[in-house]
Amino acid sequence: MKILVCISHVPDTTSKINFTDGDSKFDTSGVQFIINPNDEFGLTRAMWFKEKQGAEVTVVNVGESSTEPTLRKALAIGADNAIRINAAPTDGYYTAVQLAEVAKDYDLVIAGKESIDYNGGMVPGILAELTGFNFINSCIGLEVDGSTATVTREIDGGKESLQTTLPLVIGGQKGIVEEKDLKIPNARGIMMARKKTLTVQEPVQSETLTKAVSFEKPAAKGTVKLVEADNLDALIDLLHNEAKVI
């Protein structure tokens, strides 16, 4: 089985976020980038298939040269090879078009259901449509037996088990593996990653359907007013006249 894992290069959630050019561009200065968490869960599941079933695992990213350290980390975790499509991921449709050119040669495509930077959640579905592969989103469980995949996905108020056939695109999330199962690259993995193939591929022509016009930070948190535990009248007054929630 050939598995392709889509990797997004995203800011660490602990990074301080700023914008430039009149709040129209994200300022990457001093920002630490990581593998998108939903993608890392999917990569870890792909490594299980490699260890248990002998699957071949390739990671792919749409990004400029600055994203290569993230791909190298995925190689150090255990992926067999990596592909970087040499383009800025300007929007979800453009990114999916680039990934589709690579994905058509694979049996199983694992993507995160969304990235933690833009949270668009559109790439896996568009990718499935472009390739003609089956598609299941919000996956929290995945087993493959031959050409049959059994998938558990999260739904409102519970979960649902489905069966489908390969080729398949899934949008994975936490639950497809647990946090305790995530792999941390060791020294041997890091050394081996330096010898693994990282192929740079030029993008295909495609339009972009959306663009970021401006960014705005959330409003700063207001001051906190403390009320004595036995002063219910003051609490009710504040909730009614200031917070206006009652």
Q: Which two tokens stand for residue 32?
A: 């630490």
Domain of residue 26, residue span: 2-214
Examine residue 220 and state whether it is found in any structural domain, yes or no: no
Residue 7's pLDDT is 97
pLDDT tens-digit series, residues 73-102 = 999 999 999 999 999 998 999 999 999 999
- Strand 198-201 to strand 148-155: parallel, antiparallel, or no bridges (unpaired)? unpaired
Q: Which is nearest to 208 in space by CA: 129, 107, 119, 98?
A: 98
In the structure, how many helices (H) and strands (E) does the chain have? 6, 13
Residue 220's pLDDT is 84
Q: List, run by run, the mean pLDDT of 10-residue segments along the chain (246 residues).
A: 97 91 91 96 97 97 97 97 96 97 97 93 97 98 98 96 98 96 91 94 95 88 86 91 87
Examine residue 49 and state whether it is found in any structural domain, yes or no: yes
Residue 102's pLDDT is 97
pLDDT tens-digit series, residues 214-231 = 999 888 887 888 999 899
Question: Tell me, what CATH number does 12's domain have?
Answer: 3.40.50.620
Examine residue 221 and state whether it is found in any structural domain, yes or no: no
Residue 224's pLDDT is 85
Residue 223's pLDDT is 83
Examine residue 219 and state whether it is found in any structural domain, yes or no: no
Radius of gyration of the CA atoms of the chain, in A: 21
Run of H or E including 155? strand 148-155
Which 3 state secondary structure label does DSSP give 101? Answer: helix
Query: What is the C-alpha to C-alpha distance for residues 12 and 36, in angstroms, rounded to an integer?
Result: 9
pLDDT tens-digit series, residues 200-214 = 999 999 999 998 899
Query: What is the C-alpha to C-alpha distance for residues 50 and 38, in angstroms, rounded to an integer?
Result: 19
**Distance, CA of 19 to chain centre:** 22
Examine residue 225 and state whether it is found in any structural domain, yes or no: no
Examine residue 40 and state whether it is found in any structural domain, yes or no: yes
Residue 178's pLDDT is 94
Examine residue 235 and state whether it is found in any structural domain, yes or no: no
What total number of domains does the chain contain? 1
pTM: predicted TM-score of the whole model, two decimal places: 0.88
Examine residue 24 and state whether it is found in any structural domain, yes or no: yes
